[in-house]
Structure 1
Amino acid sequence: MEEGDDGGPALFRVVRFWSRRWAGRASEELTGEQRHVQHILVVEAVAANARPAGAAPVAGAYEAVTVGTVAHRLGLDHSGASRMVRDAVEAGYLARATAERDRRRASLRLTESGRELLAGARQWQHRMFEELTASWAEQDRRRFAGYLQRLADEVGA
């Protein structure tokens, strides 16, 4: 494989570009303030680890979503995740309850406002993908979307 043909440098250019830009832009469009991007991150982390709405509890299939779950999902230490969760609870996006399996832990769930923020974030993400790939052939867009989903699934993102 020739240097540059492996996609690594291009992947990191894209990550650097979006890590500096998407956060404030999405947050401002969805919440009216750039500083609320942390709420979007926490809501997405909770949603990614929660039992699907309407799904029956299955022993061992879904653990309670905790601050530790959020910390792991976002690559943060526990205290940083705890502050972000506290702020999201205060903003009304999350609700805390005592975890069923371990009364010493808090279980997190999305509130109606949290579900609305998540839906808005997903719509924004879809719109950005459409804008970024607008000049591509539909087949290329679908193929690229599939590869992105596969990569995200494989790395647990």
Structure 2
Amino acid sequence: MTSADGGPALFRLVRFWSRRWARGVAAGAGDTAQHVLTVEAVVTRCRSGDRDGATVGDVARRLGLDQSGASRMVAAAAAAGYVERSRATADGRRSVLRLTLAGRALIDSSHRWQRDTFAELTASWDEKDRAQFAGYLQRLASEVGA
């Protein structure tokens, strides 16, 4: 195998997991993949240092959606109790999003499932290989802004 074979392998994995991950990630009966994606986009933006929180525009950029699609996803996540909208402290005309306790529980559950899945998939690997692969995945995710 050459490094050129990495591309097709990566996309086989993406296709495989894109059809399966939502079943394992959603914590409760009412949770959907859209809720998880929305909450992840909000928490990622909030981690980046913005004191006010995320905006619908941030969610749109993070998920590669137009403003109206992101707005519908945010509205659904808010209706489910995962995010709340409030006014920005710096600019009262701007609406910002923050996670609720239920949103934090959803993201924690999602990350736990992701870690458990990685551990299962690499269970037969030695720890050095697992750590190295995890490092490469983190590096790739950081470099593409994921």
TM > 0.5 between the two? yes
**Equivalents in 2 of 1:5, 1:47: separation in Å?**
33
The aligned residue for residue 73 of structure 1 is 62
Tell me how far 1:147 sits from its aligned partner.
0.3
Larger relative contact order (Cα-Cα within 8 Å, sequence gap ≥ 6): 2
Gaps of 5+ in 2: none
Q: Distance in 2 between matches of 1:148 and 1:5?
A: 15
- Which of 39, 43, 53 lines up with 2:39 in the alignment? 43
Would you say the 8 A contact 2:39–2:107 is kept in 1? Answer: yes
Q: CA deviation at 1:101?
A: 3.0
Amino acid of the structure 2 residue aligned with 1:44? E
For the residues of structure 2 that align with 1:20 and 1:90, how far apart are their CA atoms?
A: 25
Are 2:103 and 1:143 aligned? no
- Summarize deviations over 1:65-105 as a string: whole Å, max 9, x none: 10000010011111111001001111111010012233332
Distance 1:74 1:31 in 2: 22
Separation of aligned partners in 2, 1:143 and 1:51: 25
- Which of 5, 8, 12 is the matching residue for 2:3? 5
Count of paired positions: 144
**Corresponding residue number in structure 2 for 1:122:** 111
Q: Partner letter of residue 29 of structure 2?
A: G
Residue 32 (str. 1) matches residue 29 (str. 2): yes
Distance 1:90 1:109 in 2: 13
User: In 1, Cα distance between the equivalents of 2:69 and 2:61?
Assistant: 11
